[in-house]
Structure 1
């Protein structure tokens, strides 16, 4: 009951799959470090490049127990591909991820959180406001999806896909947040920006004072600038190796 099976897949899967496993396990540990984990709930999923298979956390593990080897390989329907694993996934919790990966095959990673600040802003009628530079990045590629109850209804998938469109940021009304990325590092950086933006907005609104709203023309022009800051070696992919090193210092077992 309390003993966790130990797996070692290093050298037993392709180099591409192993690298994806290591980076995804690092993202789970970063969730813990930033306080974005929710007991055993929510997910980060990543496509193994060159395949249609996805990796996701085993159901029942806390995020600080996720390692490169105990991530579960599944197909787009949520079926476990590796029959030798002792773990399974939460099929109900995979509804959102199956929807977005199906709609966005060009993106490798999807992050979903139930953090207090994202739920709070997602529950406000006005949603995220242009109050900070962090909010600019998110508003340049933002979408919303209305709450329909627990995300277990497959009929909701089409509506999720339509609402997401080409956006990299989504606020799920009364529920939480989702970010997409062409790499795991990109998806993480998007969630970092969105969370910061939500926290700042809540702090500003808690003062009860009138705040400056950034002009819509500036918001509209941010997308090209955001692409420079958050892609390539000058942006998200420059920050990601530093995040990986930080995880290794704090959680040396994550890449096992």
Structure 2
């Protein structure tokens, strides 16, 4: 579909702004991987299942609301406002699988951060040694199957994710999903912080303490959205203020 025939609804426009902000935040907090990896958001109120994805070749701090590309869940480009850039065909495999399997998921974030990759390679996985990591107690894992380009991996990936909002991809990186961009970003941020704390603690070489299992489970329970609140929504306006101060052109 060409630029002149694609109409961006007000709802999609807002989704684009939030997604562009998320890209800028991931870059700001040091969680990007040059031009690689993706954050995708479902196009709201669309007759066809469509998602927004970054142009392949742009740094995360170059993504704007208007240069995001619209694709369907088969990876076909529906709307590309910048023909100088396409999409990373390999990149949509993980994202389209989650969007197709989880209708309640609006945003999917996948990263290759230093701490995330480090924990993904640890046999012990993510340890409940901090309050932050206890939020992710029982986090699922997906075993590494090489670069995610094979479509038959999708069924195994979504089966491992189940109904969870975060997963560690073994020897690979981190995955966070949510019913909104705000919630997905919050999940990713705190999962990354938990991984950083674990790498720091293990690198110290000292003996670590582990809280009793009942305390770990109680803490995990208190982090559930039905117990307190959906984490991310209250924080999102503050996150947008950060992006606004960094570079307000993300909304363009």
Is the pair's TM-score, using the shorter chain for normalization, greater than 0.5? yes
SS at 1:187 equivalent: helix
In 1, are the aligned partners of 2:136 and 2:220 still within 8 Å (CA)? no
Provide, for residues 31-69 of structure 1, a one-character-per-residue CA deviation record: whole Å limited to 9, x for no partner: 110111111100000002223210010111111110000
Q: Which residue number in structure 1 is paired with residue 32 of structure 2?
A: 37
Paired residue for 2:171, among 171, 174, 185? 174
2:15 corresponds to 1:17: no
Cα distance, 1:210 vs. partner? 1.1
Counterpart for residue 248 of structure 2: 252
Query: How many residue pairs end up in the alignment?
Result: 245
Residues 1:202 and 1:230: Cα distance change in structure 2 (over 3 Å): farther
Greater displacement, 143-152 / 219-228: 219-228
> Deviation at 1:227?
2.6
1:104 to 88, 102, 115: 102
- Of 115, 121, 127, 1:123 maps to 121
Does the CA contact (< 8 Å) of 1:56 and 1:72 recur in 2?
A: yes
Aligned to 1:4: none
In the alignment, which residue of structure 2 is the partner of 1:3? Answer: none
Q: Which moved more, 1:128-137 or 1:49-58?
A: 49-58
Structure 1, 121-130 or 91-100: larger mean CA deviation: 91-100
Q: Which residue of 2 aligns with 1:155?
A: 152
Aligned match of 2:51: 54
2:89 matched residue in structure 1 = 91
Q: Which 5+ residue runs of structure 2 have no aligned equivalent? A: none
Please give the residue correspondences for 1:70-85 in structure 2 after superposition, counting only pairs within 5 Å. Answer: 70-82=67-79, 85=82
2:211 & 2:93 partners in 1: Cα distance?
35
Query: Do structure 1's residue 238 and structure 2's residue 234 form an aligned pair?
Result: yes
